[in-house]
Structure 1
Amino acid sequence: MKTVLSTKILTPSQKELFLNSGLGLVEYDALKIEFLDTKIPLDHQNYIFTSRNAVSAFLQQTKGLDLSSFNVFCVGEKTKSLLESNGLQVVQMTEYASDLGEFIVENHSTEAFVFVCGQQRRDDLPHIFSKNNIWYKEVVVYSSILNSKAFFTDFEGILFFSPRGIQSFLLENTLKNSTLFCIGETTASEAKKYSEKIVIANKPTVENVLVQAIKELSIKGD
């Protein structure tokens, strides 16, 4: 049986996609999230989130508060869903941070923002904001720690969801002849440093990465 390694623990509904695929699945978290003791200022109107971890930290600090007056800008459908399910109004959601930055430049250039993020956040938004003189305050609320683990199995496919996930995996493993399934262009850019066997998801979601892996590896047969 062909086996796929996921570098993120999947939800039960995500695992169900594998049930009838004929593929084996091994999973672990290549990254561990550590929340920091950072106070988020709540006296602003516009907040930016590029991950669900940042949203979780924000929700922890705003328990019991009326969140309807905040305007929220975010990256990713799952991030948007978490925000809206907790009563926050999402003004704009994009798939990539660079697209969100351009939207803000074009439509909200005179406003101020609080960017709630992780310690290893990418430079896309700060670069765009600095270049266009948009005022923002960056608040770092969590850190992702490399969680290395050695595997002694050959995997036909490896699922990667971030550049740091690739770095974590490579601490104790090699890619051998595996096909690398990447959630987006940023992750794929890191993967291309080590392999040419790369498939990029059509949409930057975990589910689409799974679908691409099942489709690609099932087609090839046993």
Structure 2
Amino acid sequence: MTVLSTKKLKPNQRELLLNAGLQFVEYDAIRTQEVAFTLSRKLKNVIITSQNGARALLNNLSSEQLESIESCFTVGEKTTALSAENGVKTTKTALNGEELARFIIENHKNEPFTYFCGRQRRDELPTLLKENNVVCNEVIVYETHQMTQSFDRTFDGIFFFSPSGVNAFAKANKNTRAIDSTAFCIGETTATTARLHFKKVVVSNATSIESTIAKAVKTLKEESRI
């Protein structure tokens, strides 16, 4: 069995596939590029919904600015861990933007927020905050570029780690056999986008690459016994 990863994997992640007897192909479906930005005010409540956003923030803010952050609200355990490594403690970690927005509305509605995001960010979080009159200043810190590569074959599974990755792959492969593969997604937000293009979509148990791989291995092994 052969799977395709739309993100180049780390050595330990590749080992998980090889030890399970799976062959794999890998490439980067998207490429991110940081965008220069300036801040005219001290940071109080910060929202970060991706590792790319966290990296851009950490690469461009001074130690003094990072220390001035009173509360950080994140999406995903990896985003939280990356922020914590650089001294930014998280007040709340959510599974997705909608869950985080609802938490903020319920518990911090009268406080202002600064949202560090990509130029192609999803709408759920900012829309919900705006509808509930939560002040949220958006700062664009990176942009995403699609890397088009087509595969005229069917894979036993394709790994997706973001809605942008799904869209990039689908755009390049809408007329190929690859679109008939099973999509294994890192979370429900990515899966929602995948369902627009794939007939079979499987969601990982946790929002990590390792969990996505484990879910694929378990699913494919069970299917091979049928």
TM-score normalized by the length of structure 1:
0.92
* Percent identical: 41
From 213, 216, 221, give the equivalent of 1:213. 216
Residues 42-57 of structure 1 aligned to structure 2 (within 5 Å): 42-57=41-56
Contact 2:113 2:137 in 1 (8 A): yes
User: Aligned partners of 1:40 and 1:18: how far apart in 2?
Assistant: 43
Identify the structure with bigger relative contact order (alpha carbons < 8 Å, sequence gap 6+).
1
Letter in 2 for 1:3: T
Would you say 1:201 and 2:218 are equivalent positions? no
Contact 1:46 1:114 in 2 (8 A): yes
Q: Deviations over 1:73-116 (max 9, x none)?
A: 11100000001110012111111111111111111111111000
Partner of 2:35: 36
Contact 1:50 1:75 in 2 (8 A): yes
3-state SS of 1:65 partner: helix
Residues 1-222 of structure 1 aligned to structure 2 (within 5 Å): 2-65=1-64, 67-70=66-69, 71-173=71-173, 174=176, 175-221=178-224
Report the alpha carbon displacement of residue 152 of structure 1 after superposing the two structures with TM: 4.0
| RMSD of equivalent CA atoms | 1.7
3-state SS of 1:218 partner: helix
User: Aligned partners of 2:168 and 2:54: how far apart in 1?
Assistant: 24
Q: Which has the higher helix share?
A: 2
Count of residue pairs the alignment pairs up: 221
User: Aligned partners of 1:218 and 1:167: how far apart in 2?
Assistant: 28
Shift of the 10–106 alpha-carbon distance from structure 1 to 2, 3 Å rule, reads same
Unmatched 5+ residue regions in structure 2? Answer: none
Unmatched 5+ residue regions in structure 1? Answer: none
Contact 2:96 2:189 in 1 (8 A): no
Deviant stretches of 4+, over 3 Å: none
Report the alpha carbon displacement of residue 123 of structure 1 after superposing the two structures with TM: 0.9
